[in-house]
Structure 1
Amino acid sequence: MKIFSIANMKGGVGKTTTAVQLAQGLGKKGKTLLLDADQELQCAVAWRSSDDPAWSFDAVRYDGKRADKQMAGYKYVVIDSKGNEQGHDLVALARASDLLIVPTRPEGVSAAGLANTLSPLLDAGISNFRVLVVVNEGGRGEELREHLADNGIPVFNSMVRKSTAVGDSVERRIPLEAYQNRYAKTVALEYQSVLREALSYVSK
């Protein structure tokens, strides 16, 4: 079993979109479960709640007491973290995962939140994490990615652009590639690139 966790101390950075799209891609490679640990919003479970045949994975609310039983029998597990984690929560999540993915938007507020998220990981010597730049527009994503890489922070080469098609897909409760919109399909392709990269990191 391979476990991919998606986390960031700051909300609104594309965490749930990343979790859902990675689970959708993994589901085409093997039996996949998305565990939604956001006890209040349960956005991932809500997005996946339709019976659209394009969905490729299962999604349930995370139950800490039954987590092992929930994950039993799955080849891949994606954990959409609760958000607003403390430093020790992030460290524990990383240690329980094959890869911790930290999505961030290339803007000032999100960048400040990213620094707070990365500090406890770096202080604890955690190395199995990668920062993913999402909701990219203009050249800001490239600038942030290069800045992080120059400072020794592991980053994805792949990035995901900004698109209102994501919100439309959530409203329709369908995966991005099932939405008949070229922008949605483009974002879906970018997440496929992210997935290939993520798999290459856990296979080493």
Structure 2
Amino acid sequence: MEIFSIANMKGGVGKTTTAIQMAQGLGKKGKTLLLDADQELQCAVAWRSSDNPAWSFDVARYDEDAAKRMKGYEYVVIDSKGNEQGHDLVSLARASALLIVPTRPEGVSATGLANTLSPLVDAGIQNFRVLVVVNEGGRGEELREHLAESGIPVFTSMVRKSTAVGDAAEQRIPLEAYTQNRYARTVALEYQSVMREALSYVR
């Protein structure tokens, strides 16, 4: 079983969208479970709550029975609770094959990213990678290059900005099944690229 955790100290950086799309991609490769650790909002559980046949994975709340729930699954994706402390991130990384840290290429998110990465770097954690999402106007490329030059592990793949994400979540369907927005499939394909790249880092 391979565990992929999605986390960032800052909210609003595409954490749940990344978790949903990672699970959707992995679900086509093997039996996959998404665990939603956000006890208050449960956004991942809500998005996956429909019985749309395009869904490829199971979802459950992360609780004291999480370890039991994972049994029998080839892949597990954990959508973290959000607002983690440094020690939480380190523990999450150590329990995962890969910790994915999504971030938006904008000032506030970039500043928050530094706070998120510091505990990981200080603890010598190496199995994490930053994923630039909601890319627009070349800012994502600039941030990715800056991180790489600073020695921070970063995904080559990026995900563009699109209103299709919010619309698909509202309708509780996978991005690939949302046909009203022509960019939905493109964003879904970009997340597929992220998923394939993530797998390459743990194999």
The Cα RMSD (Å) is 0.4
The aligned runs of 1:31-180 (5 Å cut-off) are 31-63=31-63, 65-180=64-179
What are the Cα deviations for residues 127-162 of structure 1, in whole angstroms up to 9, with x where unaligned?
000000000001100000000000000000000000
Once the two structures are superposed, residues 154-199 of structure 1 have per-residue CA deviations (whole angstroms, 9 ceiling, x without a partner) of 0000000000000000011000000103211000000000011000
The separation in 2 between residues aligned to 1:36 and 1:68, in whole angstroms, is 13
Partner of 2:201: 201
Cα deviation digits, residues 2-33 of structure 1 (max 9, x gap): 00000000000000000000000000000000
Give 1:16's aligned amino acid.
Answer: T
Secondary structure of the residue that 1:4 maps to in structure 2?
strand
Amino acid of the residue matched to residue 41 of structure 1? L
Q: TM-score, normalised by structure 1?
A: 0.98
Deviation at 1:68, TM superposition (A): 1.1
Q: What SS does the corresponding residue of 1:90 show, helix, strand or coil? A: helix
Return 5+ residue gaps in structure 1 as ranges.
none
Task: Please name the residue that 2:11 is paired with.
Answer: 11
Q: For residue 118 of structure 1, what is the amino acid of its counterpart? A: L
TM-score (norm 2): 0.99
Corresponding letter in the other structure for 1:92: S
Q: Deviations over 1:49-69 (max 9, x none)?
A: 000000000001001x21210
Q: Partners of 1:93 and 1:103 in 2: how far apart?
A: 15
Alpha-carbon distance in 1 for matches of 2:120, 2:69: 27
Matching residue's letter, 2:191: Y
CA distance in 2, matches of 1:99, 1:39: 22
Q: Counterpart of 1:193 in structure 2: which amino acid?
A: S
For structure 2, the residue ranges without an aligned partner over 5 or more in a row are: none
SS at match of 2:87: helix
Residue aligned with 1:168, SS: helix
The percent identity for this pair of structures is 87
Q: Name the SS of the counterpart of 2:183 in structure 1.
A: helix
Report the residue type matching 2:195 in the other structure. Answer: L
Q: Equivalents in 1 of 2:169, 2:187: separation in Å? A: 13
Q: Which runs of 4+ in 1 moved over 6 A?
A: none
* Aligned counterparts of 1:182 and 1:153: Cα–Cα separation in 2: 34
Residues matched between the structures, number: 202
User: What is the CA–CA distance in structure 2 between the aligned matches of 1:150 and 1:30, rounded to whole Å?
Assistant: 35
The DSSP-based 3-state class of the residue aligned with 1:117 is helix
